[in-house]
Chain A
Amino acid sequence: MIMATETKSLQTTAEWVARNLPSETIIDVEGLNFYYGRERILHDISLSISGKGVTAIMGPSGCGKSTFLRTLNRMYELTPGARAEGRISFLGEDLFRIDSVALRREIGMVFQQPNPFPKSIYENIAYGPRVHGIRRRSQLNEIVEESLRRAALWDEVKDSLRKSAFSISGGQQQRLCIARALAVRPQVLLMDEPSSSLDPKASAQIEATARELSEELAVVIVTHNLHQAARVSDYVAVFMTGGELVEDGPTKKVFEQPEDPRVQDYLEGRFG
């Protein structure tokens, strides 16, 4: 729920300095429809996702934004009765024909609730590389350090790598999950409302991390928080109840001059 007092600051739009990132498309979605059983969750979605920068998927609850995200790494396939139709190309290849296990190595994911494994901090990060056959200790050590640094967590945990991942705070756990995803060196990082369970400070850290990472890879972040979208993203896509994509484009443009009146209403807090 957006309060009236907050609405004004939203009008000031993106709170960052626009970046000059290359804008090559990495994922191209065309005419995507999604069904749970007979219920249609997504209607004819077409969207290009840039290979660098942060793309925010926003919209009111139940508009299918998380479903959309789970289509991109085909996590939806775990849900019985879920079905996607349409074309998605990833680096020019048909995403639905890539082996889902291989695909998820390239397209990592961070979830709504921090979900570290019940293992040590080190083992959490090393898990992914091990899955993909890396066994050498020195190489694993390197990956663990690099991933934790990229997730801006290294300095906080470097002396407690052997401790349980549950011994650190919620915000740290979420950054651990980011580091875990980075450890397999994905080209895309999907984030499903990654800070919805965190306090504002931890949330800001996640946003800063996402922004920094997006200089090297594509970050797609789902959020129902307009401020967060404005703060963190270079591009936005606005979904509406019923699973439609009503507007997308550079964050600055969509926030300042939305074309669709529904987006205008949404940004001004009239619904959502």
Chain B
Amino acid sequence: MVPWKDEKATSRMNKQGSRRKSIQVIAFSFLGVASLSALIVLGLILYFMIAQGSKAISWGFITQFPRHRMTEGGIYPALVGSFYLGAGAVLVAFPLAVSSAIWLSEYARTGWWVRTIRVGVNTLAGVPSIVFGLLGFAFFVKVLGFGVSVLAGAFTLALLILPIIIRSSEEALRSVPRGFREGSLALGATQWHTVRTIVLPAALPGILTGAVLGVSRAVGETAPIMFTAAAFYMAKLPKSPFDKVMALPYHIYVMATESPNYWCTKDLQFGTALVLLGLVLTLNLGVVVWRTRLRRRKKW
């Protein structure tokens, strides 16, 4: 039998233990607070936007054209313009991005060429958006002669969101269980048939999620459209893809920097920002809800 240690020793051990435990409590509290910071920032942004911008929000605000040198009226053309640009960008980027993701995840064997492409995709994701703007101006506006237009802006934004959609699509494709592919190949299906009928449908939710996130990114960008698509003010909606267009983020920028009387438009600026923010948040939230629904349905 081991003799019981005396009381003193026990309390000494407990004391040491409790000191270590309180350090742990401090550490975890710090980590917990740090993890809250993202939520706090989001909350602050929402609070300021709603507090300052809700004054301007009305039905007329989103259905009317700006009036009186943009000191009154609504943001209808900018809203429509942002829609055109976002839709255009995803239309251009989606087929390209999904094709490259399929190639990267299904066909490409490992090697320097694949590694180079991956590095390229990741680098592209890190290129500052103003650089895309300049490239778009030089290439789409000038070289291809699109002019400052919806088309040039959509293509420029497409380049910006290309890596986003490639990466999320590739991830979605890779998360399709290997068993699905093997099951299909073992039946004598070709690899292409397997990709088309088994892998792609299974990965589609993830791929579309990436596309929506791409759209929300494209809608919020200012720099890429500044030289390629955006108009200071337009009295009419664009009639063709070769017309200039107003867009929400650029509209905010213009009102804040170039309007002769900045204070008159303060409410309008916050209102516009609130609409833009609402748009982006709705897109993101919609994706989250939709994805959890799909996840609940699939069971692999």
Contact = CB atoms under 8 A, between A and B. Distances in A.
B185 A104 contact: yes
A104 B184 CA distance: 10
Contact of A128 (B179, B180, B188): B188
Given A117-B198, A118-B180, A166-B299, A181 B186 contact: yes
B182 A115 contact: yes
Nearest to B198: A117
Contacts of A108: 186-187
A205 interface: no
B183 interface: yes
A253 to B, nearest CB: 32
A180 B183 CA distance: 9
Interface string B214-230: 00000000000000000
B4 interface: no
Nearest to B186: A109
A73 B186 CA distance: 8
Interface string A194-235: 000000000000000000000000000000000000000000
Interface string B168-199: 00000000010110111111111001000110
Contacts of B183: 111, 115-117, 177, 180
A80 interface: yes
A180 B110 contact: no
Interface string B24-54: 0000000000000000000000000000000
B109 interface: yes
A3 interface: no
A101 B177 contact: no
Nearest to A115: B179
A111 B300 contact: no
B124 interface: no
A75 B184 CA distance: 11
Given A115-B177, A116-B183, A80 B110 contact: yes
B141 to A, nearest CB: 44
A164 B300 CA distance: 12
Contacts, number: 68
A101 B188 contact: yes
A115 B185 CA distance: 12
Contacts of A180: 183, 187
Nearest to B190: A101
B95 to A, nearest CB: 24
A127 B184 contact: yes
Contact of B184 (A103, A113, A117, A132): A117
Contacts of A252: none
Nearest to A116: B183
B202 interface: yes
A105 interface: yes
A105 B300 contact: no
Interface string B102-118: 00000001100000000
B264 to A, nearest CB: 57
Nearest to B110: A80
Interface in A98-144: 101-105, 108-109, 111, 113, 115-118, 127-128, 131-132
Contacts of B201: 118
B196 to A, nearest CB: 11
Nearest to B201: A118
B298 A105 contact: no
Interface in A50-92: 73, 75, 78, 80
Max chain B C-beta neighbours (<10 A), residue from A80, A102, A115, A127: A115
Given A78-B185, A104-B187, A127-B184, A113 B179 contact: yes
Contacts of A118: 180, 201-202, 298, 300
Max chain A C-beta neighbours (<10 A), residue from B182, B186, B201, B299: B186
Contacts of B184: 117, 127, 131
Given A117-B198, A118-B300, A105 B188 contact: yes
A79 to B, nearest CB: 11
A104 B188 contact: yes
Given A75-B182, A118-B202, A127 B187 contact: yes
Nearest to B300: A118
B213 to A, nearest CB: 23
18 contacts: A101-B190, A103-B188, A104-B185, A104-B186, A109-B186, A115-B177, A115-B179, A115-B183, A116-B183, A118-B300, A127-B184, A127-B189, A128-B188, A131-B184, A131-B187, A131-B193, A183-B187, A184-B188
